[in-house]
Amino acid sequence: MDLINHLQDWVFGLPDSKFLLPLLEMRFTPEDAEFLSKIPFLPHTAEQLSVKLGIPVDELVQRLDALAPFGFVFRAEGKTAVRYALNDAILWFYRMPGWLGKDDEWNRKISPLLNQYYIDAMCNNFAGTHTKALRAIPINETVKDPRMILPYEDIIQVLDQIKYYTVSTCACRHRKNLDPDSKSCKHETKNCLHFDLLGHYIVDNGLGREITREETEEILASAADAGLVHGISNTSTRMDTLCNCCSCCCLFLESIVKMPPPVPRRHQVSNYTVEIDREKCKVCGLCAKRCPMGAIELTDKDYSDVLEIKGKEHMTALERKGKELVYHPDKCLGCGVCVHKCTGQALSLKHRDDDQDFPKDLREQGQRILTEAGFDAMEIYIKNSPSAG
């Protein structure tokens, strides 16, 4: 199919699988698939596309506008023109249609297929590159020295840069909850946040609703209390997505649970890592329960030698209870989920020794992922640019 071939030269392709064709048949008509296989991934005006495709402008706009609400085409109203671009396969399948949160026969049929295809093939899209689609951003007030935190890793400073806030249904939890072969997730589903240009696209196409800055902060606070990871666009500017992720459902985290080790982290880590003050630990075990990566474990340990030397009254709570708090920094996202609810204030986030090199914007992010996957990113971007014939 031409559409599959078209996707192979972009950030997220469509790996072959026995589940792929049934999914494509549920999402596309043959006519729509053929039409979309000709649409570039970078923004074009209708006039530019008309020249490329040889289709009259009015006819082209009608078709593109009809496909935008399905998540196939991105439609953006700029200051001077409306521009269109082909969305990637992740948005086709794993963001839409779940953003709508509909519980009907069609959604109950496609959800199991989406889950099966992801584990069978789609997750391979994320395995071979260092640069990820999302990065962990620390929960507010979990960093030990807030003076060190960079503007793009401080949720409050990020929100200060945003002008338009929206919320949609979490597509990951939605597809899991509609799949009879998946365990239902107890977490809130109305907490998938999008901003500015992407937010306008979502609201304009009925895929979510506009909310206030205050509502956004309330959603984030509730997600932090629930132990969800804040996963933001993996860029240092113009972040347009802020997910609240659980390891049982999240597209970028669930493979860690479902697939045999070693499975690379699917979120880019933050610039922070956990620091533990074992003297303050109350041995509640909450940090180990909350960590989505298994980066903290509470294990048994024999402290009989410590008892003889120090005496019980001078032992820490960990030593008295025969427990050890084990930290695996190689698994840690630096998300602050463990720190946020630490009853003894024994945990905090400290700055990593080396800063992560986050892409500046979505364009640079895409170029990095393509290059790391072995593609000629410049050639692909030129091929999809408005100037290409």
pLDDT in tens, 323-379: 999 999 988 999 999 999 999 999 999 998 888 889 999 999 999 999 998 899 999
pLDDT for residue 189? 97
Cβ-in-10-Å burial (0-12, 13-18, 19+) of 31 comes to exposed
pLDDT at 124: 80
The pLDDT > 90 percentage for the chain reads 77
Provide the pLDDT confidence category of residue 296 given band limits of 50, 70 and 90: very high
Q: The CATH number of the domain where 329 resides is what?
A: 3.30.70.20
Structural domain including 329 reads 272-351
Give the residue-averaged pLDDT of 3-26: 93
pLDDT at 356: 83
- Report yes or no on 365 lying in a domain: no
Question: What is the CB neighbour count within 10 angstroms for residue 284?
Answer: 15
Residue 329 lies in a domain: yes
pLDDT of 252 > 90? The answer is: no
Q: Kindly tell me if the per-residue pLDDT of 182 is higher than 80.
A: yes
User: What pLDDT does residue 259 have?
Assistant: 58
Residue 39 and residue 174: Cα distance in Å, rounded?
Answer: 29
**Mean pLDDT value of segment 169-198:** 96
Instruction: Please name the residue that has the structure tokens 């209870």.
Output: 321
Note the pLDDT of residue 261. 53
pLDDT of residue 251: 86
Q: Identify the weakest region by mean pLDDT among 121-135, 188-202, 288-302.
A: 121-135
> In the predicted model, what is the mean pLDDT of the chain?
92
Cis peptide before 262 (omega within 30 of 0): yes
More confident of the two residues 236 and 257? 236
The pLDDT, as a whole number, for residue 334 is 94
Q: pTM for the full model?
A: 0.93
Mean pLDDT of 223-245: 96
- Supply the pLDDT for residue 145: 79
Evaluate whether residue 321 is within a structural domain. yes
Residues 35-87 have pLDDT tens digits of: 999 999 999 999 999 999 999 999 999 999 999 999 999 999 988 999 999 99
Structural domain contains residue 147? no
> Measured at the alpha carbon of residue 176, what is the angle toward residues 257 and 254, in degrees to the nearest 5?
20
- Whether the per-residue pLDDT at 196 is higher than 80: the answer is yes
Q: How confident is the model at residue 192 (pLDDT cuts 50, 70, 90)?
A: very high
pLDDT band at 147 (very low <50, low <70, confident <90, very high): confident
Q: Is the pLDDT of residue 262 over 60?
A: no
Residue 286 lies in a domain: yes
Task: In whole angstroms, give the CA distance from residue 97 to residue 166.
Answer: 16
Number of domains the chain contains: 1
In a domain, residue 70? The reply is no
Contact 193, 167 (CB under 8 A): yes
Is the pLDDT assigned to residue 256 strictly greater than 70?
no
Alpha carbon 305 to its chain centroid, in Å, reads 47
The pLDDT-based confidence of 119 (bands split at 50, 70, 90) is confident
- Flag whether 296 is in a domain: yes
d(CA 374, CA 359): 18
The answer to whether residue 206 sits within a structural domain is no
Neighbours of 139 (CB within 10 A): 25
| Cβ-contact 185, 116 below 8 angstroms | no
The yes-or-no verdict on residue 18 having pLDDT over 90 is yes
**Is 155 a residue whose pLDDT tops 70?**
yes
Share of the chain above pLDDT 70, in %: 96
* pLDDT exceeds 80 at position 146: no
What are 148's two structure tokens?
Answer: 């060190």
Closest C-alpha among 97, 96, 98, 3 to residue 41:
3
